[in-house]
Structure 1
């Protein structure tokens, strides 16, 4: 089978990472990259560099990765769909649920592979966590808590912390638990002088009874990316910065101390840090998309799933704006 001809739109920070991985990937030939500013960092290697999407399309590609500001996703994605090019669009899929729906419709109606770059689904810690949940190691799931905080990235200008960062947690929580958001309430603040929110706290319900809590901000000097899943048998902690997965087990040892013995809850048990393979998430994501284009795999985040993440994010923003609880429509 001949190598797939790949294109890349956007040579900013994320685009340069895509270029690095695509250049080294088996079965793929990065033939062209488009950026109005050119390739100022030399990331495209031997690939042709052009200034526009039309010029990239004229070169001829089988699939394209789109790594540009969110506000441009719909326009560029629709242009690629119109000429039959499969596309992986960085998250969030679009700047509104309506725009995300138009993209999903365009790719589905043409039989094209359309994916969204929700890279946390390819983090080794979260993938191992989901497998262990599916195998019943936690028993019933009670609560999912995520913390995603750090300094403001100057490159983000067109969306706030909810659509840029919180969409990671909204997608991964639904994916790990295999449940949909039913209801949510959020509070946000604007502290940096920008028009968009830069800190949000979210409380939500997924399925019939799972509680979710998400703390997300661009206002912390501490960079943190943590997911905790608490259930019948203990608590899993996934650190996606280090790709470590730890399990804190509920103790089965009978307490001898009277004060503890009278407490009708749980107590600390064994702590296990799992040894898991740690491939680079971006490489796994792009290999999965390559396989989907070749018709040999389906482990991608679809545009319809990406649209759901945008819809939940918009519900969070509306809840924070109106100080009300939002009930989500079924997907």
Structure 2
């Protein structure tokens, strides 16, 4: 069987990682790349580097990875849709919910497959957590709390921390719990002199009553990527930097020391750090998207899901401006 012909738009930080994976992905040929500044980092070897999306499309590609700044996503993906090219788009899907919904509709109307690069879904720790939650290991889920912080990445200029980093947490929380966001209350701050926010704290309510809290910033001198999922039987702590998943089990042994018992409430049980395979999340993301194009069962992040995550982000920004809780709108599937 012939290989899928892939293209790539953008050779920035994430684009270079996509180029590396595409160059060695089974069943795929990276036939050309488009970047107006060329291959300034020497990321693609002998692969042709073109100056525009239009000339890339002319190479006869089956699908394209879009890794340009967010403000260019809409124009690039619309061109791909017009040419009948499937697309894997770096998150966030677009600069606004309106633009994202437009892409949902046009890709659906043209029978094309569109995926969004919410890479945390493919982190082994969260994959393991979701499988164990589905198996009932935690029972009912009470709360999801995430912390995602670190120094400001100089490459990000067109969106703030809510749409860039926060969307990771909104997507993974909805995916792991299999719930949608009903409402959010958020506070943002502008501490680095940029036009976009660089700090946000969010409290959200999910569709089945689970409470979600998110602390996200570009102001910390250390990098942290932690998700704590608390349920009726204990808690999972996922560190997506190391792909570790630890289970803190509720105890079944009675605490006879009264003072300690009153202080601790739920008693401590066994603590287990699970062992499982830890493939690179970006490789898994590409494998899943490739398989979807081949008609195999796979779980991509669809354009509709990416648009819904963007709606959560915009509700957070609106909540901060209005200083009140905001209901998250539902983004419908395509209109074909």
- Structure 1 unaligned segments of length 5 or more: list them: none
- The residue aligned with 2:278 is 278
Q: In the TM superposition, what whole-angstrom CA distance separates every residue of 1:158-217 from its partner, at most 9, and x where no partner exists?
A: 000000000000000000000011111000000000000000000011023210000000
> Contact 2:88 / 2:114 at 8 angstroms: preserved in 1?
yes
SS class of match (1:73): helix
Partner-residue secondary structure (3-state), 1:183? strand
2: distance between equivalents of 1:249 and 1:240? 20
Distance, in Å, in 1 between the alignment partners of 2:280 and 2:123 is 8
Deviation at 1:322, TM superposition (A): 1.1
Take 2:315 and 2:262, find their aligned partners in 1: how far apart are those partners?
43
Q: CA deviation at 1:46?
A: 2.3
| 2:236 aligned partner | 236
In 1, the alpha carbon distance for the partners of 2:222 and 2:46 equals 38
Between stretches 253-262 and 12-21, larger displacement belongs to: 253-262
Q: How does 1:198-217 map to 2 (within 5 A)?
A: 198-217=198-217
Name the counterpart of 2:334.
none
Match of 1:107 in 2: 107
Contact 2:93 2:100 in 1 (8 A): yes
Aligned residue for 1:260? Answer: 260
2:75 maps to 1:71: no
1:53-64 aligned at under 5 Å gives the runs 53-64=53-64
Structure 2 unpaired stretches of 5+: 332-336
Provide the secondary structure at the position in 2 that maps to 1:59: coil
Task: Report matched runs for 1:1-331 at 5 Å.
Answer: 1-262=1-262, 265-331=265-331
What SS does structure 1 have at the residue aligned with 2:23? helix
- Once the two structures are superposed, residues 90-111 of structure 1 have per-residue CA deviations (whole angstroms, 9 ceiling, x without a partner) of 0000010000011111111111
Q: CA deviation at 1:265?
A: 2.8
Whole-angstrom distance in 2 between the partners of 1:260 and 1:223 = 34
CA–CA separation in structure 1 for the residues paired with 2:248 and 2:113:
40
> C-alpha distance in 1, partners of 2:61/2:18?
16
2: CA distance, partners of 1:170 / 1:270: 30
